[in-house]
């Protein structure tokens, strides 16, 4: 199984929540939670968003914050709450209540390694779905003579996907496994199996050795006095 490396090199992938159907990406940085500024503006609208930007720019906590990729794109949650409290707009009150009652309490319950845990869980779930579907299709298509194909499973984690967090695809390889009871029938068909004379001879020799040893053991048991 292979997994494509995530594109985030310095920071883990952000968590994605939805507020009235609109995504809100959240990043843990410098010991606190930050909300993506563009997402907040999409939720609040242009007029309230402009007011929030003015209040956040004047917030004292932003003065000593080192400039990083996260701080340039994200807003600290506590500073955003202070800015929302200073606005009497219904949209500001609704967003503030949602942050206080839903989002922030949920984030407090998440362990420090949550982005990696969420990524692993999403990839494992997607891998299970892909493999289960492939095995089901193989068994139903082959009936009693099912064969288990060999696949290469590729997984890609996309935390900002609106539908699901992981994408998987199975690639069939040119190899297969056949149940023992169907192997002789498959070899004896006109098409046979993709093996040369030397491989078939080796297979026949091994089968004869197994059969000879089994018959010898049965003969010894029959000759032993009761």
State residue 146's pLDDT score: 66
- Whether the pTM exceeds 0.85: the reply is no
Complete DSSP assignment for 23-77: EEEEEEETTEEEEEHHHHHHHH-HHHHHHHHHHHHT-GGGTTPPP-HHHHHEEEH
CB 70 within 8 A of CB 11: yes
Q: Specify the residue for token string 């070899």.
A: 187
Please report the pLDDT score of residue 1 as a whole number. Answer: 39
The beta strands (E) that lie in the chain are given as 2-3, 15-19, 22-29, 32-36, 74-76, 148-157, 166-177
Say if CB 115 and CB 157 are below 8 A apart.
no
Instruction: Assign 195 to helix, strand or coil.
Output: coil
Tokens 């003015």 -> residue: 54
Q: Give the span between the Cα atoms of 115 and 117, in whole angstroms.
A: 5
Going by C-alpha positions, the residue among 27, 51, 32 that lies closest to residue 41 is: 51
Q: Render each residue's pLDDT in the chain as its tens digit; 226 residues.
A: 334 444 444 556 778 888 888 888 888 887 888 889 889 888 888 888 888 888 887 877 766 666 777 778 888 888 888 888 888 788 888 998 999 888 888 888 776 655 666 777 777 777 888 888 877 877 787 766 666 566 777 777 766 555 456 777 776 666 565 677 778 887 888 777 777 888 889 988 998 999 999 999 999 888 887 6
CA–CA gap between residue 142 and residue 179 (Å, rounded)? 11
95 by DSSP, 3-state: which?
A: helix
| 63 vs 71: CA distance, rounded Å | 12
Residue 11: what pLDDT? 59
* Mutual angle of helices 77-85 and 90-98, in 10-degree steps: 140
pLDDT of residue 7: 41
C-alpha distances in Å from residue 182, one per residue of 153, 178, 193: 27, 7, 12
Residue 16's beta-bridge partner residues? 25
């Amino acid at each position: 199984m292979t997994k494509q490396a995530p594109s985030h090199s310095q920071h883990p992938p952000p968590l994605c929540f939805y507020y009235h159907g609109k995504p809100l990406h959240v990043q843990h940085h410098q010991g606190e939670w930050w909300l993506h500024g563009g997402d907040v503006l999409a939720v609040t609208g242009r007029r309230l968003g402009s007011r929030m930007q003015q209040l956040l720019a004047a917030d004292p906590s932003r003065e000593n914050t080192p400039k990083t990729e996260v701080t340039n794109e994200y807003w600290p949650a506590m500073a955003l709450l202070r800015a929302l409290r200073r606005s009497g707009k219904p949209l500001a009150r609704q967003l503030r209540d949602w942050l206080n009652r839903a989002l922030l309490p949920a984030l407090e319950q998440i362990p420090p390694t949550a982005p990696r845990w969420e990524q692993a869980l999403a990839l494992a779930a997607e891998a299970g779905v892909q493999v289960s579907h492939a095995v089901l299709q193989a068994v139903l298509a082959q009936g009693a003579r099912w064969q288990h194909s060999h696949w290469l499973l590729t997984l890609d984690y996309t935390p900002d996907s609106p539908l699901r967090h992981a994408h998987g695809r199975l690639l069939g390889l040119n190899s297969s496994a056949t149940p023992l009871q169907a192997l002789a029938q498959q070899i004896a068909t006109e098409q046979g199996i993709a093996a040369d004379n030397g491989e078939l001879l080796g297979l026949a020799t091994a089968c004869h050795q197994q059969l000879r040893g089994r018959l010898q053991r049965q003969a010894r048991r029959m000759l032993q006095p009761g």
